[in-house]
Each structure stands twice: as structure tokens, then as C-alpha cells.
Amino acid sequence: MFGFSAWKRNSDIRRLNKDAPLIIEYARQTTRPDRMREIAHLTARHLERSHKIFEHTPIGLKRAILEYRRLHNEARRQYDSVSLSAFTLVLIYVRAEGMGEDCRPALDTIDAFIAEWKHTLSDGTEPETNQPPT
């Protein structure tokens, strides 16, 4: 029984560390640069929101995952590729935070992606998104 939970945890860690760069690379290949800026901004904004609203406890992380899974499914239904990519990255980030330092590569990848596009937001303008204000 305990062997299975260790295997599951290791499997989740490998998946998160693999998925973060894959999602970003897929977005780079299929999305225009102005949309990449929106993905990065939306990801940063919702990561900030999740850290503000949800506590960094197991229950808080589960609530954040449920909230962003709902938003992710809503973006999928609306065929909103920008929000879908951003919420996927937020979900990966929140899950990786729950796993701890073993998922540092996933966290670093997403942080680097956000930092790569942060300079484009220095003019104070916000890209258009069809998400309600938080």
C-alpha cells in the first residue's frame, strides 16, 4: 500500500516537471507573440490571485486546484486558447507547489516564462481577456 503512494507521488512529480515546458513550447509554436504576452500576463495575475486567496495548506491547495480546474474547463468549453493555456500553467504551478522542492523544475520553467514576458507589461496596459476581474 505504501509503495503505491510513493510511486504515485513520483509519477505526479515527473508529469508536472515534464508538462510545464511542453505546454509553454506548444503555446510558442501555435500562438502569435501578442497572445503569448496575454498568456504570460494572465498566468502571472492568476498565480498572484491564488497566492492571495488560497492558503498554503493542503486544504487551501485543493481549493485552488478545484477553482482553477473549473476555470480551465470553462475556457475549454469556450475555445479560449489563451485562458486555457494560462489556467493549465496555473494548475501545474499550484500542484507543483504542493509537491514541494521535487517540482522545482516545473516552478522555475513557469517563473522563467512569466519573467520572459514581464517587460512587455511595463507600460501599464493590460491585455484584453474575457475573464471577469478578480
List pLDDT tens digits, range 71-97.
Answer: 888 988 999 889 899 999 999 999 898
For residue 88, give the 3-state DSSP assignment.
helix
**In this predicted structure, what is the pLDDT of residue 31?**
87
Q: What's the predicted TM-score (pTM) here?
A: 0.81
Q: Where are the domains of the chain?
A: 19-117
- The answer to whether 110 and 92 are in contact (CB under 8 A) is yes
pLDDT band for 128, please (50, 70, 90 cuts). Answer: very low
- The answer to whether 41 and 131 are in contact (CB under 8 A) is no
Q: What is the crossing angle of helices 104-118 and 2-30, to 10°?
A: 20
Interatomic CA distance for residues 49 and 69, integer angstroms: 15
